Amino acid sequence: MKFFLDSAKLDEIDYAYRTFGIDGVTTNPKHIMLSGKPFEVAIRDIAQWVKDQKLDGIDKFPVSIEVNPHLDNADDICKEAEKYAQISENFAIKIPATEFGVEAARRLEKEGIRTNLTLVFAPAQALFAAKNGSLFVSPFIGWKEDNGEDCKQYIQDIVTIYKNYGFYGKTQIICAAIRSPKQIVDCAVAGADIVTAGLAVYKSAQHHAYTTQGLETFCNAWDNTKKA
C-alpha cells in the first residue's frame, strides 16, 4: 500500500518524504489556505520540489490538485484542469464526485489529463470513477467515522466491486481523510491501494507505548553493562 501526504506545506512534504518515504501528495483548498500562499504559488512550489527530487512523472510521484470548488459545470472544470495540468506532469486533477464532476473527469481522461474523483462517500460514486477511467478515486473515511459510521465494510465493498469488474489497480483507491493509525490498518486489510493522511497521523502510527518502554529498558541495560 502506498502512503500519500495530505498537505500543501513544503516542509511537511519534504519531512514525510525523507522520513516515511511517502509516494505522493494530495492537496485540497483547505490545505492550500493553511500553507499561507496564493493557490498558484503553492502548487508551483510543490511542482518545483518534485522536480528537485527528480521525481518527474505521475507514475513516480502523483500530486493531486483540486479545482475551484465553486465551479458547477463540466466546461469550466475542464478549462481550469487543463490550465493546471500544464504546470506539472505530476499533477492529477481532483474533481468532486458530482454529476458534472464525473462528466468533466471522463472528458479529461480522454484528453490524457489524469483525474482524482474526490468527496466520495458511497460505493456507487466510486463505481462511476472507475467506469470513466479516473486514475484515482478518493473515498473519505474520517468524516464518515466522525459521524459514527464504521468504514471497514465501505472500503471493502469498493475493493470488491473493483475486483469484480477488472477496475482494481487501474483506478487506484485512495482512502482519504484518515484520522488514525487504526484507519490506516483497516484500509490496508481491505486492500485499498493508497491512504492519504496528515503528517501527525503518520507520526502517531510510528509510535507505540511498548516500543518506548522497550527502548527505555534496553537503554538502561546498555548503561549498566560492565565496561571492558
Reduce the DSSP state of residue 21 to 3 states and report it: coil
- DSSP codes of every residue in 40-104: HHHHHHHHHHHHHTT--STTTS-EEEEPPTT--SHHHHHHHHHHHHTT-TTEEEEEESSHHHHHH
Dihedral, CA atoms, 46, 49, 51, 54, nearest 10 degrees? -130
C-alpha cell at 198: 496528515
Reduce the DSSP state of residue 165 to 3 states and report it: coil
Reduce the DSSP state of residue 149 to 3 states and report it: coil
Number of H helices, E strands in the chain: 11, 8
Question: Annotated catalytic residue: which of 51, 60, 94, 182?
Answer: 94
- CB under 8 A, 24+ apart: contacts of 98-105: 100/72, 100/73, 100/74, 101/74, 101/77, 102/128, 102/129, 102/132, 103/74, 104/74, 104/77, 104/78, 105/129, 105/132, 105/133, 105/134
> DSSP assignment, residue 148?
T
Does residue 110 have an active-site annotation?
Answer: no
Q: Which sequence positions are flagged as catalytic?
A: 94
